[in-house]
Amino acid sequence: MSTTSPHPEFPGSASYKPWAYILLALLVCISIATVFLTRNSYDSSDSIMHYLFAHYAFQHPINFLESWSKPLVVQLAALPARAGLRGLMVLQCVLVAVATAAAYNAASSLRMPWPWLTIVFCYASPDYFRIQFSGLTEPTFSAVLMVAVALALRGRVAWGAAIISFLPFARSEGFLLLAVYGFYVLVTHNWRALPWLTLGFIVYGIAGVFVYDDFWWVFTRNAYPVRNELYGNGGWLHFIRSLPDTIGWVQYGLFWLGGGRMLWEWLQPTARLYSEKFTADLLLVYGCVVVFIGAHTVFWVFGIFGSFGLTRVLCSVVPLLSLIVLRGLGLVTSLGRTGTARKQIMATLVLGIVGFVFSGARAALRWERDFGQPSDQILANTAARWILGKQVPHVVYSHPYFSLALGTNPFGNYTNKIEDLRDPDRWMPTGTLIFWDEWYGGMEGQTSFESLHTNPTYQLRWQGALPRNRHKPTPDSVRMAIFEKIR
């Protein structure tokens, strides 16, 4: 089957492949340069915790097979994380590049117009660019998912099945998208690919026999309970309304046009240019996006599986979204009557997409907000400096960033979490310092400042506060305190 596009004004993959990878290499260089400029870590919670699980994995091998931290993520990150958080960020840049290259490959397989634009779309998605500078799981998930889809579109369905079988070990939603891929395998009668869908589970199940004496540990030790009242719930349109924060407003509009175009083609089979690719496109691109966003919507509406309504999860499917956006762009450019007109429409839209990133809009990139150090980390560093030179037998904290500020191993015997203070069987020596903060210690740890301040066992030694947004002060501030156990 020829890979030449039937539309000469829509260059195909053969003409653009060298330039596409040069463009990708340039964007990767920009990302890696940003690694050494940023002072941010996307967030101070899960991003830091995933880094800590990887950084200390060789000292605490159980981290390699832990449900919350995700085994595949820890295994990929363990060596880079030994070089520090920036080492892990470099790995994230590589993973985003792999996912983006796979998106370009998928667009070429689908013979879409200007497939190299998927590279632009991925890197011009503000939140997907930001998430490279974190320890989070979304880049790994997006890379594994996109590689599997690209392989299937190339006709290597069994290889794709083997790759996607490891997806649940990058993020738990992987089980749902593994089912989507399995449905595609059944629909297309690729029977030889079916056994490969179990590869990841078998590999990690055997590992679980040696570590937990439990082949089914993935389910029996699941880190996400069905109910978690602490996080609450939200509305049905939460993730759809938040999608512009992930990919920008111009791409958001094209995304809906691309979805409409696919729906029209589904209803009008005669309109399909490449019917042999249509099923793969429908199920593996659109199907995965619909199932992923739909599942998170259900989790958030009903407050299940530890959903906190975090929209960063949408970064997991940005490479797939870039294919839908490209289809939408193709629909708009088809309105041009000549090849020149179509290229002009394309160039205008691409300039709008890239320009939005630097527009200063709330959903765009802002240097100080996105790459400057957040207030809670500044305050934690200040608190850590307070104990310099002091002999401290034990420390207690719940804010993950205190591990970096204090240089302590959160998995070692030197530390406890604030919620352990309520356990009478947890003995802690006199002189123990408790590092309290209002969210991780106060809300999640359910230990208020007043409960420590009024307890004669503890004495307040230091406290501080900073506006959460230092450039636009509001009543919302970050508060931290240090208490010492005196008896």
Quick check: 442 and 478 in contact, CB under 8 A?
A: no
pLDDT of residue 12: 44
Spatial distance between the Cα atoms of 458 and 453, rounded to a whole number of angstroms: 7
- What is the C-alpha separation between 484 and 458, in angstroms, rounded? 5
pTM above 0.95, yes or no: no
What is the arithmetic mean of pLDDT over 291-316? Answer: 89
Q: What is the mean pLDDT of residues 128-138?
A: 98
What pLDDT band is residue 232 in, cutting at 50, 70 and 90?
low
For residue 174, the model assigns a pLDDT of: 96
- The whole-angstrom separation of Cα 305 and Cα 295 is 11
Closest to 400 measured CA to CA, from 54, 84, 52:
52
146-165 per-position pLDDT tens digit: 999 999 999 999 999 999 99
* Confidence check: pLDDT of 306 > 90: no
pLDDT of residue 427: 86
How does pLDDT run across 324-340, given as a tens digit for each residue? Answer: 999 999 999 999 989 89
Residues in contact with 195: Cβ distance below 8 Å, sequence separation at least 6, in sequence order: none
In 3-state terms, what secondary structure has residue 486? coil
Q: What is the pLDDT of residues 9-59, one digit of tens each?
A: 344 444 457 889 999 999 999 999 999 999 999 999 999 999 999 999 999
Q: Mind listing the pLDDT tens digit for each residue in 58-100?
A: 999 999 999 999 999 999 999 999 999 999 999 999 999 999 9
